[in-house]
Amino acid sequence: MKSVIVHYQEIALKGNNRPWFVARLARNLRTATKGVGVREVRVLMGRIELVLAEGAEWNQISSRLSDVFGVANFARAGRAPLDVDAIAREILNELGDRQTDTFRVSARRANKRFPLTSPEIEREVGGRIKEARGWRVDLSHPSLTIHVEALTGDAFYFFGKEPGAGGLPAGTSGRVVCLLSGGIDSPVAAWRLIRRGCRAIFVHFHSYPILSRASQEKVRELVGVLTRFQYDSRLFLVPFGEIQQRVVLSVAPPLRVVVYRRLMMRIAEAVALRARAQSLVTGEVVGQVASQTLENMSVIDRVVTMPVLRPLVGMDKDEITAQAQRLGTYPISIIPDQDCCTLFTPRHPATKARLADVEAAEAALPIEELVTQALTAAVIEKAHYPV
């Protein structure tokens, strides 16, 4: 079996954009399978074929494919001429001495000019296999399902399907700037947007040299994990320690967290404008910590004109943690570090900061200048996958 058949689902619904979605998915599949023996990626009728090179390692290919967003399912497949005798012969050949008690053939006819309908293909091919093997046909609970797909020129057959990652192909939904802290939540938030087809640009605020470089190293690793799903990433490392020192000089402790956040948002929005991104993404959750109240979130959002997306807003911590574990970011996120928020963070932040108070406190700060300085000092790093 020298092919892989990739099915997409949701993107089939995208109307006029469909060819563009499919082309993008094909390009992503090409990128994702670089170096593991895929010779060619071809867009066929309603599905995509990967043509395997001699000696391609199925385990490697399958593990790469299971992370590609926009894939509903995929299967290692064989190709046969478009003729029921030939299809049955190839299938029997491929089955070798494989045994089963019950089976069924499940056919799909993408090429409507092929003279047999799907049920007819199922009967014809199934009949030949039953005759050769003596297996019983069970249409509702077969132990083995043999899939046949009749396209133009060729038919494909495969046994069983592996679930794909779902979502939409990376790069089909526009760009977002993700505020990545090094904690558990923000990488999961970023992942959820990437899964919906967004290209994530990452921003991390650090307090080096006041604190160690640990938070930057963690974020670099987190970006490494997330890049597996979008192939190319950019990470803006923004020095934030001096800004915090300025805030501490003039802002009363309870308001500091909200003021830090508003500064982060302004800087992130400036990055987004530069990168032509349309939204900001954070890992905030209603009520998770004192600063994440509806009141504070609305005061924070006031400083930007872009939508602030909070994909985790209604999740429990244990749900987010489970997601982080599946994603593989959890062990990185729990490495202890001193993130910039531990620095100069008051013990009792205001849970209901009032906009007027926050604005009054900010009046003493050279906001524009701080934002410009931070942007100028930002270091941009790139990450690629596969490396």
Strands 199-206 and 175-179 come out as: parallel
Nearer to ligand ATP, 95 or 263 (CB): 263
Nearer to Mg ion, 183 or 239 (CB): 183
Binding partner selected for residue 289 from ligand ATP, Mg ion, none, CB under the kind-specific 5 to 8 Å limit: ligand ATP
Using CB under 6 A, which residues numbered 309 to 348 contact ligand ATP? 339-341
Nearer to ligand ATP, 143 or 245 (CB): 245
Q: In angstroms, what is the minimal distance from the CB of 307 to ligand ATP?
A: 14
Q: In angstroms, what is the minimal distance from the CB of 339 to Mg ion?
A: 6
Using CB under 6 A, which residues numbered 234 to 273 contact ligand ATP? 264
| Number of other residues whose CB lies within 10 A of the CB of residue 97 | 4
CA-to-CA separations, 225 to 182, 188, 322, in angstroms, rounded: 12, 11, 16
Q: In angstroms, what is the minimal distance from the CB of 338 to ligand ATP?
A: 11
| Per-residue contact string for residues 199-238; x = within reach of ligand ATP by CB under 6 A | ----xxx---------------------------------
Binding partner selected for residue 179 from ligand ATP, Mg ion, none, CB under the kind-specific 5 to 8 Å limit: ligand ATP
Pairwise CA distance, residues 78 & 86, whole Å: 12
* Residue pair 189/178 in contact by the 8 Å Cβ criterion: yes
Stretch that binds ligand ATP, among 88-96, 125-133, 222-230, 278-286 (CB under 6 A): 278-286
Using CB under 5 A, which residues numbered 145 to 184 contact Mg ion? 181, 183
Nearer to ligand ATP, 31 or 292 (CB): 292
- Tokens 């930002």 sit on residue: 378
282 binds ligand ATP (CB under 6 A): yes
Per CB under 6 A, the list member of 169, 183, 239, 311 interacting with ligand ATP is 183
- Which residues are at the interface with ligand ATP (CB under 6 A)? 179-181, 183-186, 203-205, 264, 282-284, 288-289, 291-292, 339-341
- Which residues are at the interface with Mg ion (CB under 5 A)? 181, 183
